[in-house]
Amino acid sequence: MENTPKILPTSDMLLKKIMCSKDSTHILRAFVRDILGKEFKTLTPRETYHIDSYKKAFDADPELMRTEVDILAETEDGSHVTIEMQVQPHDYFIERAIFYLGEAYRSSLGNQEIEDFIKSNNFSALRPTYGINIVAFHLFDKDGPATRRFGVVDLDTNEIMRSSQGEDLIVICFFSLVNKNIDHNSAAYHWQQFFRTGEVADDAPDYLKDAQKKTDFYSLEDASSTFCSH
């Protein structure tokens, strides 16, 4: 086992294990805060990670598993956060990312369990949606910032369009694992190095060290024989 190559956190299954296990909510919240720049009181994956159920779904329809967003989570107010990992360049990836974000945004339409839902207006259930796309290739200018965040803005004044609750309506973020334009003192840099190498530095935050422990306890032989990165 010592000579078995480490499965990197860019593996779709390992990403789910790190972020969506029942004891991983602090890791998920920290990642979203560090990359997206938003702090949520709670962030709950729509489906928690469990190896047996994941394998069953993959075996039943591997093509479907490759086309679904990696992680979909909900905040305390019903807002959505999507996380997608893409290792290889993908044609129309920006369009794909927008599609996933749109699907997540519309998913709560008419949901009467949403707080402040108005029975006469199904649109009152819609909540802000945030997407994080982790990419291991240059999607934008390779000399630009490693983290790019886009919202809905007025093209003349750059005023941000906000929801009825005053929140950003739609935010989509792209986090490059290969772009070197990143503050080496930031938590985002530690995340970048973790995804690239599977290791964390001694001065990395504790939640990242917890994430590394999950990769170390992962069954490498089992994973490498069944799953691979996108």
pLDDT digits (tens, 9 = 90+) for 102-144: 999 999 999 998 888 999 999 999 999 999 999 999 999 999 9
HSE-up (13 A, CA, CB side) for residue 61: 4
227 Cβ contact list (under 8 Å, min separation 6): 11, 12, 13, 58
The gap from C-alpha 113 to its chain's centroid, in whole angstroms, comes to: 24
Q: What is the mean pLDDT of residues 97-103?
A: 93
The pLDDT assigned to 225 comes to 45
Backbone angles phi, psi at 124, to 5 degrees: -70, -15
Average pLDDT of the segment spanning 65-69: 47
- Whole-model pTM? 0.83
Say how far apart CA 100 and CA 88 lie, in whole Å.
Answer: 18
Give the number of residues written for the chain: 230
**Tokens of residue 155, six digits:** 């093209």
